[in-house]
Amino acid sequence: MPFFRVNEASQSPRQKTILVTTFNADGLKSNLIYVQLLLSKCDILCIQEHWLLSYEAKEFDTLFPNHNFVVKCVDDDNPMPPKQRRRGTAGTATIWKKELDHLIIPLNTGSNRLIAVQLTSADQPILMINTYMPTEGAAQADYNEILDEVYTTIDKYSEYSVIWTGDINASTHRSRETTNDVKFRAFCIGNGMKVSIHMPDTPTFHHFNGKSKSQIDLFLERTTEEAIQKITLSST
């Protein structure tokens, strides 16, 4: 999973950095130990596919007592009672250390696939967007719908630098491009977004069949170089 370093606003001549990472959990509860390990190493964690339903979101308080968060669930608009519990899907969460509360402001957005926060940086405010984009097999209207929400959010905070991360379910370089790839690439060109030059050109997703791999978990930016130091890619 990719990591991102951002300069923190500070009165000290020696500015601190904030480490951000993104991770498709493929079920939070089944990967809880690994998520807790990630949180011990980073300052902000953007999660996709936590699979929790809305009545379970309160469990974040118990699971991550030293962190604050924004959690969105697939049934937020139509909550499912516990008695009707089925296998969860989708869901996004952005989690940060409580000591960063003075730097982070959650922003209102609509879809349960998108979370946006304002991050105060040394250079200028940063709009950080965490998305779980629809897969290629989903209705293309769904992918366009979330792209539209990303655009609306970016446009609303047009004076901010932008970091867009998460499971994008599209790639900017794939030998056999998909429909999502075409839509995603056109969106990035039209809105001045780019995959960070610091991000290694290596796969972030490996299919269980062992034959397919791609880079669909990304950090994109529209920002000044002063706001961002570097990206590294975890080997796990």
What CATH number is attached to the domain comprising 164?
3.60.10.10
- Write out the residue range of the structural domain in which residue 47 sits: 2-231
In tens, the pLDDT along 52-70 reads: 999 999 999 999 999 999 9
The 3 state secondary structure assigned to the chain is CEEEEEEECCCCCCCCEEEEEEEECCCCHHHHHHHHHHHHHCCEEEEECCCCCHHHCCHHHHHCCCEEEEEECCCCCCCCCHHHCCCCCCCEEEEEEHHHHHHEEEECCCCCCEEEEEECECCCCEEEEEEECCCCCCCHHHHHHHHHHHHHHHHHCCCCEEEEEEECCCCCCCCCCCHHHHHHHHHHHHHCCEECCCCCCCCCEECCCCCCEECCEEEEEECCHHHEEEEEECCC
**170 occurs within a structural domain:** yes
pLDDT of the residue at 196: 65
In tens, the pLDDT along 18-56 reads: 888 889 999 999 999 999 999 999 999 999 999 999 999
Q: Predicted confidence band at 93 (pLDDT cuts at 50, 70, 90)?
A: very high
Which is more confidently placed, 166 or 11?
Answer: 166
pLDDT above 60: residue 204: no
Tally of structural domains, the chain: 1
- 0.75 surpassed by pTM: yes
Q: What is the crossing angle of helices 179-191 and 140-156, to 10°?
A: 10
**204 occurs within a structural domain:** yes
**236 occurs within a structural domain:** no
In tens, the pLDDT along 100-123 reads: 999 999 999 989 999 999 988 766
**14 occurs within a structural domain:** yes
